[in-house]
Amino acid sequence: VQLVESGGGLVQPGSSLRLTCLASGFSIDTMETYRVSWFRQAPGKQREAVSCSSASDGNQYYANSVKGRFTISRDNFKNTVTLHMNNMKTEDTAAYYCAINHGIFCSPSASDYKSWGQGTQVTVSS
């Protein structure tokens, strides 16, 4: 499975931004059977899980730092996963990565994901 992220950029604190991940290369199955997550990595820091959409009944995971501000959504027909980011803060500055793996339930561990996108840079600065 191949992933391509888009939508990054430079925004001011308090602004909103939408990141989109387009998945392709599914063989006999569809994105419906995959868990999909967004991770981010700031310079000098470890990659951290931001949000996840499970393959089951729509369960979602959010890091405490983004709860109430970020929302993840998926369209299994279009093979896209979107991260809606509102009320952004300077600490949201990072490279954001989309990751996908076969499996029902969400996981915040990067090692549980086989396929990764190339990343898109998000910078929040005044």
Q: Is 84 exposed, middle or buried (0-12, 13-18, 19+ CB in 10 A)?
A: middle
What residues have CB less than 8 Å from 114, skipping those under 6 apart?
A: 1, 100, 101, 102
Do 52 and 108 touch, CB atoms closer than 8 A? yes
Per-residue pLDDT of the chain (126 residues; tens, 9 = 90+): 999 999 999 999 999 999 999 999 987 778 888 999 999 999 999 999 999 999 876 789 999 999 999 999 999 999 999 999 999 999 999 999 999 998 888 989 999 999 999 999 999 999
What amino acid is encoded at 40 in this protein? R
pLDDT of residue 61: 93
- C-alpha 66: how far from chain center: 12
